[in-house]
Amino acid sequence: MYLRKERLDFVVGSGHQTRSYLLWRNGFLYEAPLTWYVRARKWDLSPGYHEGRNSRFAREIEPTCLACHAQGTQPIPWTYNRYQVVGGPLGCESCHGPGSAHVQNPTDTLYHWSRWPKARQMDVCSRCHLEGLTVQKRPGWRPGDTLAAFYAVFLPERPELGQAGIASHAERLLRSACYREGGLTCATCHAPHPVGAVPSYDERCLSCHTRGCANPAHPRTGCPTCHMPKGPTTDIPHTQFTDHYIRVVRGGLSAGPSPQPRLICATEAAPDSAWVAEAYFRWYVEGEGGAAVGQAAERLLERWGPPLFLAQLYLWMGRPEKALPYAEKALTLDTTLRTLEAFGYAAEGAGQLKQAFAIWKELTRRAPAYPDALFRWALVGYQTGALTLPQAYAVLDSLCAMQPWNPQFRYNAAVLALQRGRLAEARTHLAAALQADPDYPPAKTLQKTFLPSP
């Protein structure tokens, strides 16, 4: 029987619906594969691990994942999931912005919710409670700013109007006449700083739905029970969430069948074509929508998208030779981690190993804390003769010290150790690879063929 024990460092979730767990290893942050689903009272795979995407303990948690769960995170530059500080629970600054700026200018309306228009108040909540395919237009958003000036959020069109995701509160509420005509916002029912007895949801409804209004309250209690029914979410299993689309619920709520997968923008009526193209790209690489979405992303990106996304799209499609010219063009525009990485993989996949080695070498100079760049540099360097066997093995050995749980690093270190005639070291690395992933095919083959147990 296979047994693996890991220490869990952080808990994510309020505990009302789910409790997920994070591992922090040598600065690298990952999601554990098991989540406790409260209502079902059962353990099951964590979000992101379903539908054949079980990566064991290796699902990387990037800053965009943490933004709505933690405050004060300090990611290490030129990495994806490595942090100096993971941060703590959400606090004042999550909704009110930097406290230091407030101290410098206490009268700045940016920090006073009561002075904001309704739409700006909703933007703060929407930053986390409007989950979808988010395209960042520019960095620097903070509470009080217009969300649509910084982000475009896209959602798959749902034929059934009753379908909702676990973080679709804002999108659903915006459909409601109570918001559009009655001025209701999230804070109407969810007081951020309650003092004294909190009014019931029925009392909040009755503050508007009196006998004098066009839609007076029905003579019974429990308004949300009928008009905001609870139900399963489309994206997280074993959960029951309140649908924030306030309405008279009728059977068979359907917008009609959608002829093909399609995205709609929840933050603006006419989004820029470049944002639409990026959204379809993200939809495809996240594994949803299938080939039709990939084809749509390709058409849109060829016309409006930046070359980096086209390069990444073709890499996802397994077409590195098609990706390479777009990666080369992207390098003329910027030299970020994602751009350099895309060029490295495209050049490597297209057989341009000398070009790939030069890029991986440059990336290791800029991103010494990014293990994947070191790994590719060592392997390609050894393949091209730019690095000797001892040099390449030294890099792999250091990577195994950085990430001893990584089966790919361990397996390749075992191969190089075997080539050096160091059987004991090879067996140590191979055993660690199989302990991390007993189903890792290359490691199983190596063990059976070259390194059977003594």
Asked if residue 212 has pLDDT above 80, the reply is: no
Which of 112, 72, 113 shows the shortest CA–CA distance to 94? 72
Asked if residue 415 has pLDDT above 70, the reply is: yes
| Positive/negative CA dihedral, 160, 166, 168, 173 | positive
CA 197, 12, 8 angle in degrees (round to 5)? Answer: 135
Please give the pLDDT value at position 278: 97
Residue predicted with more confidence, 159 or 224: 224
Asked if residue 259 has pLDDT above 70, the reply is: no
Please list, residue by residue across 307-344, b when 16 or more beta carbons sit within 10 angstroms of its beta carbon and e when fewer do: bbbbbbbbbebeebebbbebbeebbeeeeebebbbbbb
Token pair listed for 117: 């228009």
Mean pLDDT of 125-153: 93
Asked if residue 256 has pLDDT above 90, the reply is: no
Question: d(Cα 132, Cα 171) in Å, to the nearest integer?
Answer: 10
Asked if residue 197 has pLDDT above 50, the reply is: yes
**Tens-place pLDDT, residues 19-51:** 999 999 999 999 999 999 999 999 999 988 887
Asked if residue 253 has pLDDT above 60, the reply is: no
For the beta carbon of residue 202, count every other beta carbon within 10 angstroms: 16
Q: Which ranges of 185-336 would DSSP assign to H, the alpha helix?
A: 186-189, 201-206, 223-227, 273-285, 290-304, 307-316, 320-331
For the beta carbon of residue 16, count every other beta carbon within 10 angstroms: 10
Please give the pLDDT value at position 231: 86
Token pair listed for 388: 């000797």
Per-chain mean pLDDT for the chain: 90
Please give the pLDDT value at position 125: 94
Please give the pLDDT value at position 111: 63
Token pair listed for 63: 């800053």
Percentage of residues in the chain with pLDDT exceeding 70? 95
Question: d(Cα 294, Cα 317) in Å, to the nearest integer?
Answer: 8
Question: d(Cα 34, Cα 20) in Å, to the nearest integer?
Answer: 7
Angle between helices 307-316 and 273-285 in degrees, nearest 10: 20
Element (H, E) at 345: helix 337-349
Please give the pLDDT value at position 282: 95
Question: d(Cα 80, Cα 64) in Å, to the nearest integer?
Answer: 10
Asked if residue 260 has pLDDT above 80, the reply is: no
Question: d(Cα 121, Cα 99) in Å, to the nearest integer?
Answer: 18
Mean pLDDT of 285-300: 89
Enter the DSSP assignment of 219.
S
**209 alpha-carbon distance from chain centroid:** 40
Please give the pLDDT value at position 254: 47
Please give the pLDDT value at position 226: 87
For the beta carbon of residue 361, count every other beta carbon within 10 angstroms: 17
**Tens-place pLDDT, residues 84-127:** 999 999 988 888 888 887 788 877 766 677 788 889 999 999 99
Q: Give residue 77's pLDDT band: very low, low, confident or very high (50, 70, 90).
A: very high
Please give the pLDDT value at position 321: 98
Amino acid present at 448: K
Please give the pLDDT value at position 404: 96
Question: d(Cα 153, Cα 5) in Å, to the nearest integer?
Answer: 38
Identify whether the C-beta of residue 343 lies closer than 8 Å to the C-beta of residue 328. Answer: yes
**274 alpha-carbon distance from chain centroid:** 21
Token pair listed for 13: 């979730």
Identify whether the C-beta of residue 369 lies closer than 8 Å to the C-beta of residue 82. Answer: yes
Taking the model in full, what pTM does it have? Answer: 0.90
Percentage of residues in the chain with pLDDT exceeding 90? 64
Asked if residue 218 has pLDDT above 80, the reply is: no
Identify whether the C-beta of residue 32 lies closer than 8 Å to the C-beta of residue 41. Answer: no
Enter the DSSP assignment of 254.
B
Question: d(Cα 402, Cα 385) in Å, to the nearest integer?
Answer: 25
Q: Is 385 left (phi over 0), alpha (psi -120 to 50) or beta?
A: left
